[in-house]
Structure 1
Amino acid sequence: MKNLFPILTVVAAIVVLWYGAAVWLNAPWAYDKAQRADITLSTSGLIADTWSQKKPKLPAPHQVTQEIWKTTAEKKITSKRSLIYHSWVTLSATLLGFALGAVLGIALAVGIVFNRTMDMSVMPWVITSQTIPILAVAPMIIVVLNAVGIQGLLPKAIISMYLSFFPVVVGMVKGLRSPDHMQLDQMRTWHASGAQTFWRLRLPSSMPYLFTSLKIAMAAAIVGAIVGELPTGAVAGLGARLLAGSYYGQTIQIWSALLVAAALAATLVAIIGLIQRIVLNRMGMAQ
């Protein structure tokens, strides 16, 4: 309960500020309607209007909550208007991209740590790759893959991989280099081979770094999946919901998709955190 209190306090503060911002941003439209109808808005009337507009600049929290309820509990999972359906489409690309990014990141990290040529040549390019805005890269990836007949899930997964492999590379390089000289000297004293040093010392030592980087990679992967849905004009996925909402000025739809995406990312990161605790406890590295 003590751990929940700070979280709930922050959430409550955000909700209060959100309601206040909704009044402030939506007030001009409320005043404009009142002026054209030749009526005077009271404070309570202003608040009620700004919290109930159909296309507000900033929807109130209860409006977003109602929209999420309508598009989850009150819709069939297979419905194109169901946020569960769209979440599953985005989740599929996220998980595939995350898996590809994790494998690529770990492979590059091993090569960078054990090969000086890769360390000097590959690592700068890995860092440079992240300076290119994903919004500029995503359309190019989609166009190139479409030109060779690759469509559907894979292009979005590759964009997710592009964002997610970097934190894994950085975290694993740091983790594989975390054993100190005394530990490495001890392995040499035991006549351990390079492979034995890797499996018995370097890899176990890198686990805390790996799981931390995987959490960041997962959050980046879901961003990549959503961004990958935007230039394709997709009709399914949370990115498609955001795109459709922006086309028709449905801000409530946009915010509901954003909150569902945030909840999905938080759930996936929490799952990695649970796996982290289990694995590190079994390895004797209690967190």
Structure 2
Amino acid sequence: MNRPWRDSSTLSVLIVVAALLVVWYVAAILMNWSGVSDFYQRTDVTGVTFGQQFNDVLNQEKPLLPAPHQVASEFWNSTVGQAVTSKRSLVYHGWQTLSATLLGFVMGTVFGIGLAVFIVHNQAMDRSLMPWIIASQTVPILAIAPMVIVVLNAVGISGLIPKALISTYLSFFPVVVGMVKGFRSPESIQLDLMRTYNASRFDVFAKLRWPTALPYLFTSMKVGVAASLVGAIVGELPAGTSNGIGARLLAGSYYGQTVQIWSALFAAALLAGALIAIVGLAERITNTRLGVRP
């Protein structure tokens, strides 16, 4: 028997969302109130009622913190209200970012799995390479991205590839770390059993290590695809391009369009959520085919 909706997690989610909206509105009012008051003083506007000022605070053109309805309106106008081929459309910019994200994610996943295989099967690589892989993630991506863009532009490579490489840099790390742990997850008794069957190293990998590493793979891919999206957006900032969510954020910061910035941020968040959900769906389909119980 299904539980009533009051006892389900849906109600908890709705309560949290409602609380966040209330906090957001309160913060928007507090942050924007003094700005509207200063505007009234500079323009010698008098006799403004509390209700009028309250309405102006929530509908400023360039607020310090836009209200939720302003962000929702801008998001709607930038998606539904624009042609998908228009550079004013968030769908267009989202597709540009998504292209670099997916390419970088695929390259990062393949590269990470390949590195994990070599590390697990070669003790020298484990000792020599793994510390450098970990150290690579201590370098801020904001310092690496401009160098990648400049170097590749100098050799005539621009557009999608530089952004995808930055995404690869961020997405391969969780995959290689997760898969190393996954490939090493079989117990020694299982490995001994494979040896009694005279299994080759490839057979051990294909029939034992790989199946046991799949849960680690999908968990790592969820982190990796989100990191890949971050890399694509960061790569768009120093690239000087007019396409992509990163370019949209940069243009909004240049002209003080905070509503545009927030709508682009929400577009990025929705895109990340969709990508993680797709990886989760692939995980459930794979587990179902393999007969793994949730």
TM-score (norm 1): 0.97
Deviation, structure 1 residue 280: 1.2
2:21 aligned partner: 15
2:198 aligned partner: 191
Pairing 1:66–2:73 present: yes
1:108 aligned partner: 115
Check conservation: 1:90, 1:222, Cα contact below 8 A: yes
Q: CA separation in 2, counterparts of 1:8 and 1:161? A: 36
Deviation, structure 1 residue 148: 1.1
1:170 aligned partner: 177
Residue number among 33, 36, 48 corresponding to 1:27 in the alignment? 33
Residue number among 264, 275, 280 corresponding to 1:257 in the alignment? 264
2:142 aligned partner: 135
Deviation, structure 1 residue 40: 5.7
Check conservation: 1:31, 1:41, Cα contact below 8 A: no
**1:245 maps to amino acid:** G
Where does the alignment leave 5 or more consecutive residues of structure 2 unmatched?
A: none
Q: CA separation in 1, counterparts of 2:239 and 2:213? A: 38
**2:171 maps to amino acid:** S
Residue number among 209, 231, 244 corresponding to 2:216 in the alignment? 209
**2:159 maps to amino acid:** G
Pairing 1:45–2:52 present: yes
Measured against aligned partners, the alpha-carbon deviations of 1:2-57 in whole angstroms (never above 9, x if no partner) come to 13222222222211111111011111101212334353655433432221000000
Q: CA separation in 2, counterparts of 1:281 and 1:3? A: 24
Deviation, structure 1 residue 133: 0.2
Q: CA separation in 1, counterparts of 2:258 and 2:24? A: 14
**1:33 maps to amino acid:** F
Q: CA separation in 2, counterparts of 1:168 and 1:47? A: 50
User: Aligned pairs, how many?
Assistant: 287
Residue number among 106, 121, 128 corresponding to 1:99 in the alignment? 106
Measured against aligned partners, the alpha-carbon deviations of 1:53-100 in whole angstroms (never above 9, x if no partner) come to 000000001001000111111111111101000000000000000000
**1:283 maps to amino acid:** L
Q: CA separation in 2, counterparts of 1:99 and 1:265? A: 15
Check conservation: 1:226, 1:238, Cα contact below 8 A: yes
Where does the alignment leave 5 or more consecutive residues of structure 1 unmatched?
A: none
- SS of the counterpart of 1:84? helix
Residue number among 249, 268, 275 corresponding to 2:275 in the alignment? 268
Measured against aligned partners, the alpha-carbon deviations of 1:256-278 in whole angstroms (never above 9, x if no partner) come to 00000100010010010011011
Check conservation: 1:277, 1:286, Cα contact below 8 A: no
Q: CA separation in 2, counterparts of 1:177 and 1:4? A: 38
CA RMSD for the aligned pairs?
A: 1.2
**1:243 maps to amino acid:** L
**1:170 maps to amino acid:** V
Residue number among 270, 278, 281 corresponding to 2:288 in the alignment? 281
TM-score (norm 2): 0.95
Deviation, structure 1 residue 158: 0.1
Q: CA separation in 1, counterparts of 2:291 and 2:118? A: 27
Residue 58 and residue 192 in structure 1: after superposition, are their counterparts in 2 closer, same or farther (change >3 A)?
same
Percent identical pairs in the alignment equals 59
Residue 283 and residue 73 in structure 1: after superposition, are their counterparts in 2 closer, same or farther (change >3 A)?
same
Check conservation: 1:34, 1:40, Cα contact below 8 A: no
Q: CA separation in 2, counterparts of 1:163 and 1:42? A: 52
**2:69 maps to amino acid:** H
